[in-house]
Amino acid sequence: MGKLRKHHKNRKLPKNYYNYFDVCIMEGIEPSRAKNAVGKSGVEGIKSLPELEPIEDLFEVFEKPVKNRIVSSYGILRRYYDDWKRDGTVRKFSTGRPPKKGTTILKATVPIKLKEEFQSLVDAAKICRQFKLLIAI
């Protein structure tokens, strides 16, 4: 599974994106077949085209109101498509930094008078390595 699909509201397709229909022409897909794929199911219909199925989750939706209705256009970032055509591999996205196990960070503001008393608690906690206490003065 790839990243979540982006939906851009009130925005036209930027210049650093390929239009879905331009990609279909570059891949040799007939325009009628391309229109039928996205006709009813929208951007999710790109899955039905075997030529674009590896990169279908990289397409983003750009919605713009035109004459009292919403017109959707679909685009893929040029570098994603160019990398796929050159290397044959689809870009993978990081799921993010994993959470640290067994540590809890607690930030607290402590008056200077209580600092010495509180510092002994902080030192004991750091020795146990179960959580960190940061003192903000």
In a domain, residue 50? The reply is: yes
Among 10-19, 44-53, 77-86, 93-102, which is the least confidently predicted range?
93-102
Residue 94 token pair: 């990081």
Q: What is the pLDDT of residue 1?
A: 46
Distances (CA, A) of 13 to 16, 51, 87: 8, 22, 25
Query: Is there a single domain that holds both residue 40 and residue 72?
Result: yes
Query: Is there a single domain that holds both residue 60 and residue 113?
Result: no
Range of the structural domain that residue 49 is part of: 7-87
Q: In terms of Cα–Cα distance, which of 95, 70, 94, 91 is closest to 82?
A: 91
In a domain, residue 30? The reply is: yes
Distances (CA, A) of 31 to 35, 58, 87: 6, 20, 26
Asked if pLDDT for residue 4 goes beyond 90, the answer is no
Tens of pLDDT, residue by residue over 20-60, are 999 999 999 999 998 898 888 888 888 888 888 888 888 99
In a domain, residue 47? The reply is: yes
Tens of pLDDT, residue by residue over 110-123, are 677 777 887 787 77
In a domain, residue 96? The reply is: no
Query: Is there a single domain that holds both residue 26 and residue 52?
Result: yes
Beta carbons within 8 Å of 126's beta carbon, 6+ residues apart:
132, 133
Distances (CA, A) of 46 to 8, 28, 76, 110, 124: 18, 15, 12, 57, 58
Q: What is the pLDDT of residue 23?
A: 92
Beta carbons within 8 Å of 106's beta carbon, 6+ residues apart:
131, 132, 133, 134
